[in-house]
Amino acid sequence: MSNVTTNTTIDPSLLAAMNSNRGTKSATQEAQDKFMTLLVTQMKNQDPLNPLDNAQITSQLAQLSTVTGIDKLNETMTAMNGSFKNSQNLQAASMIGHGVVVPGSNVELKDGKSVLGFDLPQNADKIQVKIRDENGSLIKTLNFNSMTSGFNSISWDGKNESGTAVANGNYNFEVSASAADTKLTVTPMSFGLVSSVSFGSQGTMLSISNAGDVLMSDVKQIF
């Protein structure tokens, strides 16, 4: 006689684990099932003397198709957005060590060399650039004539009004411009090197020397 006993009872938790994915439906599938259930119920219980109009049924099916299509479109857009973010992050990482132009009024002086820029809304016949130190003291005034609209860059040799070379470091500048005595709105631009990249809720941020942290979307030029 065998001593082996057979237990025909299966642990409910094991069954739940094995069947956890069975019958799982997406929100779209559930909506479709509910819609079709309501439609079939409506057709079963319709008034024989006043049956449902074919146009009405077609309209309801069209609404279901539209909702389903919108849901699928949202899924596609979400996937595309994720792919775009990954591509943008890779592009941002490849910018480390490159020079960029971003909105800003800082200029870095190193060994008598510096570059600063600005954007003009239209051609200008008078442009003045004032360079100041971190305390706001005026260091140098540069005057130019006849610059075209768009981005313009100029260099500063690091000398003050008396022709003496000033120390390396970060300085600030302000630009004023006019065209036929009409004052123009000028956007100052800073040059800097990308030292690091970070990814946050605000988007991809670039850490730039002498310009701080800026959004990748604010970069106007890469070189």
Contact criterion met (CB below 8 Å) for 169 and 209: no
**pTM (whole model) above 0.85:** no
Measured CA distances, 66 to 56, 60, 62 (Å)? 15, 10, 6
**pLDDT for res 14:** 47
Residues 209 and 189: their CA atoms lie apart, in Å, by: 13
**pLDDT for res 91:** 74
**pLDDT for res 179:** 96
Nearest CA to 140 out of 165, 170, 176, 104 is that of: 165
Q: What are the structure tokens assigned to 89, written together?
A: 């992050």
Q: What is the pLDDT of residues 83-110, one digit of tens each?
A: 555 566 667 788 888 889 999 999 999 9
Q: DSSP assignment of 51-96, as one string?
A: PPPHHHHHHHHHHHHHHHHHHHHHHHHHHHHHHHHHHHHHHHHTTT
Q: What is the pLDDT of residues 15-57, one digit of tens each?
A: 455 454 555 556 666 666 666 676 667 666 665 656 556 666 6
Q: What is the pLDDT of residues 58-76, one digit of tens each?
A: 676 666 666 566 666 566 6
Structure-token match 């079963």, residue found = 44
- Tell me the pLDDT of the chain averaged across its residues: 79
Q: What is the pLDDT of residues 192-214, one digit of tens each?
A: 999 888 887 777 888 888 788 88
Residue with more model confidence, 11 or 170? 170
